Chain A
Amino acid sequence: MSRTAVWYWAARAAIGWLIILAAQVVWLVTDGDGTGLPVAGHVAVLVVTAVVAVAHVTVMPQWRYRVHRWEATSAAVFTQSGWFKQEWRIAPISRIQTVDSERGPLEQLFRLADVTVTTASAAGPIKIGGLDRDTAQRLVAELTATAQATAGDAT
């Protein structure tokens, strides 16, 4: 993964948490007379959310960066992901059906890209997230070239 991905993951998590916090603030304002929940309760919920959010935004990207790995050789693509449930996925390049690369709006800002490699099996898509754009382009070009060179319909 690109080191920039840490910032991208942090930004994405932060945006998610900001939406939740904003919703809570709106609730606090509209519920000003305290019929639903006393104001102290509102504040307590807000503080708890903020603490969880800060912890998530700072710890998660580092952790994810550490547990996510990928590798592509001339024969196969390999990924490792997950922290509670660790998963390794391997697909031989000769069995690759499609190679997609995808850039969301936020990823474009950080100059990152996702690459998804699918085989003929519905159980085996391999997703590599948070690659920097040049690496992603090179990977896609390489995989496509090798996959094209193999004969057969890869089932």
Chain B
Amino acid sequence: MIDVVEATLTWRRLSPRMLVIHPVQEVVRAAPALLGLLIAGSSSGGKGHLWSLAGVGLMVVLGMLRWFTTTYRVTPEHVQVRRGLVTRKVVTVPRDRVRTVDVTSHVLHRVLGLARVEVGTGTSDRRNEGRLKLDALSAAEAARLRVELLHRSPSAAPAAPAAASAAPAVPYGAPAAEAELARMRPEWVRFGPFTMSGLVTVGVVAGFVSRLVSEGNVDLGRVGPVQETWRWFREMSLPLEIATVVLVLVVFVSVASTLGYVLAFGHFRLTRHPEGTLHVTRGLLTRRATTIEERRLRGVEVTEPLLLRAVRGARLSAVTTGLRAAQGAQRGGSLLLPPAPRAEAVSVARLVLPRVPGAPSASEASPVTARLTPHGPAALRRRFTRAYGVHALVLAALLALWWWAGLPSWTWLTVAALLPLTALLAADRYRSLGHALTSGYLVTRWGSFSRRRAALECDGVIGWNIERSFFQRRAGLATLTATTAAGKQGYQVRDVELVEALRLATAATPGLLDPFLVEARPVSSVG
């Protein structure tokens, strides 16, 4: 039966509409060069422009070739993608190894009704080779593929291929079946300016302008408005100049961050499907839909960057196998809640986290709100020595440069004036430190500029590392790392007393450490 099915399953192509998208994409990517070409005109001579044009043309042709060489198929047991022009390559993923399906459609994709599908498997290696990416299918096709891959796989055990081949009989993604856990509210936009994502925009704009200048041979100094602004700027006094720069930057970054927030998280929805998946859709222009299997969820992470913390905001991401840990506010598919009120993050975490069997029910505090055990005076001292150690090093270096290399004296004076701030930072870093073991979850919190609280299911802990540097040994402290296959691969409980670290590890994974405790250390009182 399987053989017959596999034989009749033909290789499918990507959507032919990609043939339109590739040229447009390449032209957009080469926009700075082309704009420069337009501004500079052909009068300046030289063949450089022709070469960049030829390069764009070549990229377009290669992109279109990709459509002809990429095919895929879904058999009852595998997902296969064939690609490559010179080196033919077939990527095969067993369907029961599919952890996540990510559907993204950029503006162009949406105009033409297309979507890019990315299939995540359990591999956690940094290389991208094993990833299955289909760029792009028609939106309907992508949605069908997602349902086919995820919602059938838990029930369609390898022993029941007949059930899997009967998949088309199931109604796809009936909207009535899903339960909404969270949805974007307009008032959350107030957290936009505090996400600092606008800093990236500043970088992008700067990069665009610099490319425009270099490729188009534009001399900024000769552009009228720039000259005017510069003259007006030079006439101010120094404090006023600094204040102006800071003000302009703050306004620009705030506006850009808010815009970025709206674009990335507009239409955000988090839903739960009865087949055991969580579903995140977001994005105003670029639509992104991520599906996470709930049985792969090992915990959550609450992130509160300093600025967001000041306005009682937080964001929530999933700790799950098959998805790499989120980088930045928008990247990474593990996002469960964009920057939003802290209370909202807490309630979503409560809804999302799987109940650990055998653990006390909801009456006990949820892992994201439970009180944490502080790490004690030794950890506090270590925060201060480390913060002041770094500060003193910087100060010494600047002093040396001032003494011997003639650095202006305001540099080290500024650094010296910042000493009280370092104390605040160290105190806050200590305040963040904490750990707990509650309702079957290991909870750890750390960091000041970006305070993170990770709750990891004890069942997801697949080993322990205990590190003690020379200084930590003198202070009687240790850093305990719970290794896991999910998220960041390891979650640290920093600078905790050794006895407490061993107690925590023993309580989280009963029996694992017992044979080693007596021999490993003279801390026999614990074992």
Q: How far is the CA of A132 from the CA of B321 in the complex (A)?
A: 36
Binds A, one of B74-82, B339-347, B407-415, B511-519: B511-519
Assess A122 versus B124: contact at CB under 8 Å? Given A85-B468, A87-B465, A155-B462.
Answer: yes
Q: How far is the CA of A89 from the CA of B483 in the complex (A)?
A: 10
Q: What residue of chain B has the Cβ atom nearest to residue A87's Cβ? A: B467
Most buried by B among A76, A87, A123, A154: A123
Taking A85-B470, A88-B466, A89-B463 as contacts, is the C-beta distance between A155 and B321 under 8 angstroms? yes
Contact partners of B511 in chain A: CB under 8 A: 75
The segment from B36-44, B361-369, B424-432, B484-492 found at the interface with A is B484-492
The answer to whether B483 touches A86, judged by C-beta atoms less than 8 angstroms apart, is no
- Minimal Cβ-Cβ distance residue in A for B466: A88
9 more CB-based (< 8 A) A-B contacts, given A88-B465, A120-B462, A155-B321: A76-B512, A86-B468, A88-B464, A89-B466, A90-B463, A90-B512, A95-B462, A153-B122, A155-B460
**Chain A, 114-129, CB within 8 A of any chain B CB:** 119-124, 126
Question: Given A80-B520, A85-B470, A119-B462, does the pair A124, B512 have CB atoms closer than 8 Å?
Answer: no
Check A91–B515 contact: CB distance below 8 A. no
Do B465 and A120 touch (CB < 8 A)? no
Chain A contact residues (Cβ within 8 angstroms of B): what range?
20 to 34
B197 near A: Cβ within 8 Å?
no
Cβ of B462: which chain A residues have Cβ within 8 Å of it? Answer: 91-92, 95, 119-121, 124, 154-155
Chain B residues closer than 8 Å to A89, beta-carbon distance: 463-466
Decide if B92 is an interface residue (CB 8 Å cutoff).
no
Judging by beta carbons under 8 Å apart, are A155 and B485 in contact? yes
User: Contact size class for B?
Assistant: 20 to 34
Q: Which of A67-104 contact B (CB under 8 A)?
A: 69, 71, 73, 75-76, 78, 80, 84-92, 95
Sample of 14 A–B contacts (CB below 8 Å) = A71-B516, A71-B519, A73-B515, A75-B512, A86-B473, A88-B520, A89-B463, A90-B513, A92-B462, A121-B483, A121-B489, A121-B490, A122-B124, A155-B462
Question: Is the contact region of chain B dominated by helix, strand, or loop, or is it mixed?
Answer: mixed
A83 to chain B: closest residue by CB? B470
Which residues of chain B in 489-527 are interfacial with respect to chain A, using CB atoms and an 8 Å cutoff?
A: 489-490, 505, 509, 511-513, 515-516, 519-520
What 6 pairs across the A-B complex have the smallest Cβ distances?
A123-B490, A124-B483, A120-B485, A91-B463, A95-B462, A121-B483
Q: Does B3 touch A at the CB level, under 8 Å?
A: no
**List of B residues within 8 angstroms of A86 by Cβ:** 467-469, 473
Q: Is the CB of A76 within 8 A of B470?
A: no
Which of chain B's residues have a CB closer than 8 A to the CB of A92?
462-463, 509, 512
B125 interfacial by beta-carbon distance below 8 Å: yes
Q: Could you tell me the distance between the alpha carbons of A124 and B462 in the complex, rounded to whole angstroms?
A: 8
Is B257 an interface position by the 8 A CB rule? no
Residues from chain B with Cβ under 8 Å of A88 in the complex: 464-466, 520
Do the beta carbons of B463 and A121 come within 8 Å of each other? yes
Given contacts A87-B467, A88-B465, A89-B465, contact A123 B489 (CB under 8 A): yes
State how many angstroms separate the Cβ of B62 from the closest Cβ of chain A. Answer: 33
The interface centre, meaning the residue of B462, B468, B486 with most chain A CB atoms within 10 A of its CB, is: B462
- Do B464 and A90 touch across chains, with their CB atoms under 8 A apart? yes
Chain A CB within 10 A, most for which of B467, B486, B505, B511: B467
